[in-house]
Amino acid sequence: MSKVITPKEQDYSQWYNDLVIKAGLADHSAVKGCMVIKPYGYAIWERMQAVLDGMFKATGHSNAYFPLFIPKSFFAKEAAHVEGFAKECAVVTHYRLKNSPEGLVVDEDAKLDEELIVRPTSETIIWNTYKGWIQSYRDLPLLINQWANVVRWEMRTRLFLRTAEFLWQEGHTAHATRQEAVEEAEKMLNVYAEFVEKWMSVPVIKGTKTASERFAGALETYCIEAMMQDGKALQAGTSHFLGQNFAKAFDVKFLNKEGKSELVWATSWGVSTRLMGALVMTHSDNEGLVLPPQLAPIQVVIVPIYREAEQLAKINEVVSKLTRSFDADGIRYKYDSDDNRSPGWKFAEYELKGVPVRLAIGPKDLEKGTIEVSRRDTRTKEFVPIEGVEKYVKNLLGEITENLFKKAVELRTNNSHKVDTYAEFKEVLEKQSGFVWAHWDGTAETEEKIKEETKATIRCIPLNNPQEEGKCVYSGKPSKQRVIFAKAY
């Protein structure tokens, strides 16, 4: 074994780091807090992008691109927004370097009149621009998305989960009415939930954030929350109803049908490369990655087993029929006939990389007319007649997708607890982690106290949450519904 992964039972953080690095998804870079996304990791991200982009287009959105740099004065216009992001902004102050006796230095003569902020998010530059795009109700709704990188100067970083620079998409929409904007925010939350559940096989809970967890500048923040295998919560996507806050700050008005001037209503929504972290931490095991077939860069790997060139030639013949059929079905495969690696090495390597299905074919198979089919999720294998194996594989890919989702739901169910006393609450979080469904009195004070004492935060108030009479687990005050508490990434 040349690539040893720390077992997750021993050290979950280390297990995650080992997976990301050893499976070739990403690496630490020479730049503090920034990562290099390697080809295999980027291929998965590209799959995510392609699917999401299609979903955005299907819901009427267009892509555009706004500047990386935001003048400080723009940034300062929305008070809550500034408050939320000021502590983690990279700032550009000069535009030139020069040679000096000490080497290359910043040229103090090249100081910018106004500093530029490297975008931590683009609301301000976008709303400044929208002012010029919107005059009449006929210009609405304005439905724009951008794929971009953003920078948030984080103290402590983790590959994919929190890096100083990350890749994401940010949608920014403008609407004539409050209701339409709220509907947009909810619609995009549903798009995210569908993507994460159907394509990533990661179950999520849709909900809203409490005031303290809300996006800086939003009236309502919607989120989807997933549970990782260690029981911690991970926010997989957010969608914000921004009210008229940015319209006010940037004076974005439109003339309605009656000829009266009104402020527009706004939303923004985003998912990031953090989804890669969710993907890894939801399905993978101690042997390596486990990728859902829908996003796997390679869905099927074919490994030939042979002694002589003659045998390989026969195998090639069988395989080429197979791959023609895969081509026709749009199945992403790799035929690895590399002579320098033994079959055993390849088996281990593709397991590490999370390839959902492996086909092995050797002399014995040629004799019997079978092929060995192994599935990554259950680590089981069986011999299947070569005749019709294409169909078998196609079904298997679907089955794996479902099984991954089912297993993730089971994990979440087994680690979700309804509790009614604070003693129980603390016990669950200490001993088992997971989601805790508990009554909460709705105050920020209680939320803060619980966070201080248990490190658990309110992940969300689920949408369509069943209403029931109860008492706040902390204060004993009356409550009408349970909310989800958990430790979070």
CB of 199 to RNA, least distance (A): 19
Contact between 383 and 370 under an 8 Å Cβ cutoff? The reply is: yes
Tell me how far, at minimum, the Cβ of 363 lies from RNA, in Å.
5
Least distance between RNA and beta carbon 147 (Å): 15
* Closest to RNA by CB, 184 or 365: 365
Nearer to RNA, 229 or 479 (CB): 229
Binding site for RNA (CB under 7 A): 1-3, 13-14, 17, 28, 30-33, 84, 87-88, 152, 154-159, 161-164, 166, 213, 215-216, 235, 238, 272-274, 287, 305-307, 339-349, 351-352, 360-366, 372, 374, 379, 381, 455, 488-489
Q: Please, what is the minimum distance in Å from the beta carbon of residue 305 to RNA?
A: 4
DSSP for 21-49 reads HHTTSEEE-SSTT-EEEPHHHHHHHHHHH
Whose Cβ is closer to RNA: residue 86's or residue 110's?
86
Query: What is the smallest separation between the CB atom of 333 and RNA, expressed in angstroms?
Result: 17
d(CA 240, CA 188) in angstroms, rounded, equals 9
Instruction: Print burial letters for 292-316: b (CB count within 10 Å at least 16), e (below 16).
Output: bbbbbbbbbbbbbbbeeeeebebbb
Considering the complex, state which of residue 357 and residue 436 has its C-beta at the smaller distance from RNA. Answer: 357
State in angstroms the smallest separation of the CB of 126 from RNA.
18
The conformation of residue 68, written as its DSSP 8-state character, comes to S
- Which token pair is 448? 């803060």
CB of 17 to RNA, least distance (A): 5
- For the chain, what is the radius of gyration of the CA atoms? 26
CA dist., res. 161 & res. 235, Å (int): 10
Give whichever of 379 and 391 is closer to RNA, judged by the CB atom.
Answer: 379
Q: Judge contact between 277 and 234, C-beta under 8 A.
A: yes
User: Taking the CB of residue 89, how many other CB atoms lie within 10 A of it?
Assistant: 18
131 or 158, CB closer to RNA?
158
Q: Minimal distance in Å, beta carbon 24 to RNA?
A: 11
Of 433 and 479, the one with the shorter C-beta distance to RNA is: 433
Q: Are the beta carbons of 482 and 437 closer than 8 angstroms?
A: yes
Distance CA 222, CA 239 (A): 5
Q: Which is nearer to RNA, 134 or 275 (CB)?
A: 275
Concatenate the DSSP letters of all residues of 202-246 into one string: ---EEEE--GGGS-TT-SEEEEEEEE-TTS-EEEEEEEEEEETHH
